[in-house]
Amino acid sequence: MNKLFAAIITVAIVFGITSCQSNKKDNAMIEKTSFGKTSKGEEVYLYTLTNESGAQVKITNFGATVVALYMPDRNGNLQDIVLGYDNVSDYEKGTSYFGAIVGRYGNRIGKGKFTLDGKEYQLATNNGENHLHGGNIGFNKVVWQVLKTDAADGGAEIALKYVSKDGEEGYPGTVALTVTYKLTKDNELEIDYSATTDKPTIFNPTHHSYFNLSGNPENTILDNELMINADKFTPVDAGLITTGKLEDVANTPMDFRKPTRIGARIEDNFEQLKFGKGYDHNWVLNNYDKTVKLAASLYEPKSGRFMEVLTDQPGIQFYSGNFLDGTGSGKNGKPYKFRTGLCLETQHFPDSPNKPEFPSVRLDPGDTYRQTTIYKFFTK
C-alpha cells in the first residue's frame, strides 16, 4: 500500500514538473507593431512571431511579406538571414519582390498572353516584352487582411487574406487567397496557401524570400552549397521564357543533385547561364505527386546554417540574385550587391499557360488551389 502511494506521488510529481517546464518553456508569442502607412494612407503592421527557442519571423501585411527571419548559427547566435527593407514605402517602391507572396502568377508568361476556353487574355508586359510575377501591382504590392494570429505548441502563426478582383491585372475571375505562415517550435517556416475562384482562371503563387544564410548580407551566396532534387530543368530562351522542353541536368552546371557550391560553375560558358546572368531557372522536381517532399537544401559553411525546402509543387526556381546591383538601400541602410541573396521559389513551371505539356495551372470554380512549402532550419 505504501509502495503504491509512493508510486502515485512520484508519477504526480513527474507529470507536474513536466507540464510546469513545458509551460515555462512555451514562451512562443506574437507582437504587433506599426510598419507605417502606404502612399495611399493605409496603415500596415509588422507581426513578430517568436517560437519557444527564440527564432523569429517578422511579417508585414503589405504583400504578406517576410521582412526578417532570425535563425541560429551553429553557436546559437540568432541572425537575420533574409534580405528586405526597413519600412513599407521602400517595399512599395522596390522591384525585387523581397520576401513577398508573388501572384497571381509567379515568374514569367511569354508576351503576357494566354488563352483560356478560347478567349485570349493580355496581361501587363512588365518585364521586357513578358509578364513577370503578377504584373504592375501584384500580390506583393497590396495590403492583405490579417485573419488571425495565434501562438500555441511552442510556435506561432499568422493567416493573411487577399481578394483579387475579376479583371485585376488582366486576369479573369475573382480569386480569394489565404496564406498562413507558421513558425514551428522546430524552426520550420511553413507556408500554406488556399485559394478559390468564381470563374476559370490561371493561378501560380509563390514565396520570394532572398536567403543569405551567413547572416551578413555583405557576403555573396557563392560559397553556399546547394542541392536540388531534380534530374531535369526547363531551359529558357534569351527572354527567360521556357521553351517547353525538359532537359537533363547531367553533365551541365545545372546539376545540383549532389550538394554543390553555387559559385563552382556559375561563370561557365553555358548558354543557359548566359541567358540568366547566372542561375535563374526552374528545376523539375523528381517524383512529383502533389505530396510534400524534399525539393532542395542549402548549407552555409561558415555559420553552419542549413536549410531544407520541402514542397508539394512540381517545380522550384533557383534565382542567384543576379539582378541585385548595389543600388537602393536595404535594411539598416545597406545596399544589396550582386548575388548577396538567393531565392528558392516553389512553383508551377514558368509560362505554363502557353505550354500544354507542362502541369496545368488552371483553377476552376468549385476547386481549391492548395500549396504547402516548408523552409526548415538546422545547423551542422
What residues make contact with ligand BGC under the rule CB under 6 A?
Answer: 96-97, 107, 240, 280, 317, 319, 323, 343, 345
Query: Which residue, 60 or 282, is less far from ligand BGC as judged by CB?
Result: 282
Decide: 48 and 157 in contact? Cβ < 8 Å. Answer: no
Which residue out of 208, 281, 300, 348 is catalytically annotated? 208
Query: Which residue, 96 or 371, is less far from ligand BGC as judged by CB?
Result: 96
Catalytic-residue membership of 218:
no
Cβ density class 26-47: b for 16+ within 10 Å, e for less: bebebeeeebbebeeeeebbbb
Q: Which residues pair with 370 in a beta bridge?
A: 194
Query: Which residue, 97 or 377, is less far from ligand BGC as judged by CB?
Result: 97
* CB 322 to ligand BGC: min, Å: 7
* CB 127 to ligand BGC: min, Å: 7
* CB 315 to ligand BGC: min, Å: 12
Cβ density class 226-243: b for 16+ within 10 Å, e for less: bbbbbbbbbbbeeebbbe
Which residue out of 52, 157, 169, 345 is catalytically annotated? 345
* CB 210 to ligand BGC: min, Å: 8
* CB 53 to ligand BGC: min, Å: 31
Query: Which residue, 97 or 181, is less far from ligand BGC as judged by CB?
Result: 97
Q: Which residue is nearest to ligand BGC (CB)?
A: 319
* CB 97 to ligand BGC: min, Å: 5
Contacts of 186 (CB under 8 A, 6+ apart): 376
* CB 346 to ligand BGC: min, Å: 11
Query: Which residue, 215 or 278, is less far from ligand BGC as judged by CB?
Result: 278
Catalytic-residue membership of 169:
no
User: How far apart are the C-alpha atoms of 280 and 290, rounded to whole Å?
Assistant: 24
Query: Which residue, 173 or 350, is less far from ligand BGC as judged by CB?
Result: 350
Query: Which residue, 127 or 260, is less far from ligand BGC as judged by CB?
Result: 127
Q: Which residues are catalytic?
A: 208, 345
